[in-house]
Structures are given as structure tokens and as C-alpha cells.
Amino acid sequence: MLGDGFAFLHAGGTIIKKELLSGEMLKLDTGCLVAFTQGVDYDVQMVGNIKSALFGGEGLFLATLRGPGTVWMQSLPFSRIADRIYSASRKSGGSGSKGEASLLGNIGIGNLFGEN
């Protein structure tokens, strides 16, 4: 359906805008796709096999987009920021971190990005 109006999107990290030329193809993790314009051909495909998907550090599926059109991607989808928060909370568990107390315990924002 087409029409005028507003759309509000939530994305994390850096937002990257990519103009795809006619026939140009882009493959990315499905969690990194934010939006795309009409005219972009969109498909989701399984990555290799279960073993490579589970142990390769990526998800099970990749989004394949073909131009022409505009694609917006995010560098840090919610699942990855949640993993960083969880890892930081486990690392700081009562170790005298310089961060402030929070619902996650005594972790600072620096711990999310590998800083002490």
C-alpha cells in the first residue's frame, strides 16, 4: 500500500544509507536491515548449513537486496547490544568496576565497549 504519512524507525549503532544501482546486490545479516525503498527486490536465504550458521558467528539467514533503490542498515542491532550488556554485566560482577550502580549491577557504560 502506498500513501503519505510518517514512519518512525528504531535502529542502533551507526545508520548507513546505501544507494543500490539497477541489478546491484547487497547481502547482509537480517538483523542489520532497517528499511528499503520501493523497487528494491528483497529475499531471505539460509546461510550455508546449520554448522556454519551456528559456529560461524552469524545468524541462520541473510537478507539479499537488489537495486535499484535505497537501503538503510544499522551497525548494531538490538540483539548484539543486548549481548554486550550481558557480557559486561558478567565481567564486572562485583569486581570493583568504576561504573555506577544500575539494574545490571555495578557496570559502567565503558564496559559495554570494552573499556575499564
pLDDT, one tens digit per residue, over 36-95 is 999 999 999 887 766 665 665 556 788 999 999 999 999 877 777 777 788 888 876 544
Residue 104 burial by Cβ neighbours in a 10 Å radius (0-12, 13-18, 19+): middle
Torsion, Cα 103 107 111 116, to 10 degrees, reads 170
pLDDT for position 54: 63
29 - beta bridge partners?
62
pLDDT for position 110: 53
pLDDT for position 101: 47
- 100 vs 84, more confident: 84
pLDDT for position 96: 46
Question: CA of 41: how far to CAs of 27, 31, 78, 107, in Å?
Answer: 12, 17, 25, 43
What pTM does this model have?
0.61
pLDDT for position 58: 56
Torsion, Cα 48 53 56 57, to 10 degrees, reads 140
Q: What is the maximum span of the chain, computed from C-alpha positions, in angstroms?
A: 55
Cis peptide before 68 (omega within 30 of 0): yes
Residue range 20-39: mean pLDDT, rounded: 93
